[in-house]
Structure 1
Amino acid sequence: MNPLCSKCNLVVYPTEKINCLDKYWHTKCFRCEVCNMSLNMKNYKGFEKRPYCNAHYPRANFTCVADTPENIRLKQQSKMQSQVLYKEDFEKNRGKSFTVVTDTPELQRLKKSQDQVSNIKYHEEFEKSKTSHLHEEVERSKTQHQQPGNPAPAAFQPSAASQNYHYDPVPEPVRPAAAAPPPSAGQKRYRAVYDYAAADEDEVSFMDGDVIVDVQQIDEGWMYGRVERTGQQGMLPANYVEAI
């Protein structure tokens, strides 16, 4: 006795019979359940004993797990365990914690700028202290000279020869300097106010008083130029020079 087709429930004869998914099908009835595309034994996909094409084959979805009392207890237990481990690590590393900072190019540039600013402040403080110390010495000398019965120091006692003879030195004639060629239009010139030693290959060294020409501003703290005395060119800190 011939079986029935699982699609149309008609008799399936051997010449048109397909045995698949534990069922019998007519060749023309073996189609996708969604798009009704004709299938064969090579391109079909079965799901719950029904044929599907590759495009409409049902995909497995994730299942949401409800918070049962057992899951809640396990969650709390794992949280307590993680807190215990954290406290143990904290007690072991107390007093030993430190931060590792990688020397990136940006951090190196900031560090170099801070060093330059501190160097400038050091020069300013040094000049102030030297000036104040000189004023104190002058005031002390004046006070000692003005006290009654205290002879003036040897440095302030004029000699007899200097009292009887007065010499006015004749100033030497000043030779006029050759007129420097005027700078080209738009060319910027700067004068160095501090000594600077190049820290990298792309920087340039200069001394106090050097003239920097062909200056191009890079950012707020750095510029690019050429030292007129040596002819070398490269990057230089902007706070070490002043515009002419």
Structure 2
Amino acid sequence: MNPSCSRCNKVVYPTEKVNCLDKYWHKGCFSCEVCKMTLNMKNYKGFDKKPYCSQHYPKTSFTIVADTPENLRLKQQSKMQSQVQYKEEFEKNKGKGFCVVSDTPELQRVKKTQDQISNIKYHEDYEKGRMGGEGSNTEAYPNQSYQQQQPQTPSYNFDPPPARSAAAAPPLPSGGGKRYRAVYDYAAADEDEVSFADGDLILDVQQIDEGWMFGRVERTGQQGMLPANYVEAI
């Protein structure tokens, strides 16, 4: 059975048959899709299984490529290769001359990390110099012409007066008590106590219990109870 022509859909006999582009044509029907110029096996150009002349052959044009996962991966890989190549070129050219380096995201991250490390190092050196004294300050800040000295506050290591016994009562002075010297200042907390200053002489001292005495302050003439750990025997 004879096939049909792809152009006119009529029966193609063997004497006028052209077999091309996986189809059958009459010799007169084998023509350009645009200008209808009759073609032969030497001057035709096929596109999408259709014959065209060289003048009207479809021109290929660029198409928009969708961002498929594979294309995104290739794009990311190309970007990483570009950054690696940039770093290699930078290391090769480092020290050869002045060049302007653009702030890439990677360089910005490195710069930020270096700034943070510098700030931490500065504060550590400052704290060591401030707390370590003159030697540490000189080591941490060798360019300073003077050292800032922290004011020293004198400390007095003395125990608070012991709790008074409820049964203790000041005895009358007999005039034959011992002599003591105050080693700390003391302000009377009750009416039956006596105030004195460091260095005052305490006369006619009599022991009441382990923590309290009775005596007379020579400077003021007042007499009363006083803590035993604020005075020393002469």
Same fold, judged at TM 0.5 (above): no
TM-score under structure 1 length normalisation? 0.35
Structure number with greater Rg is: 2
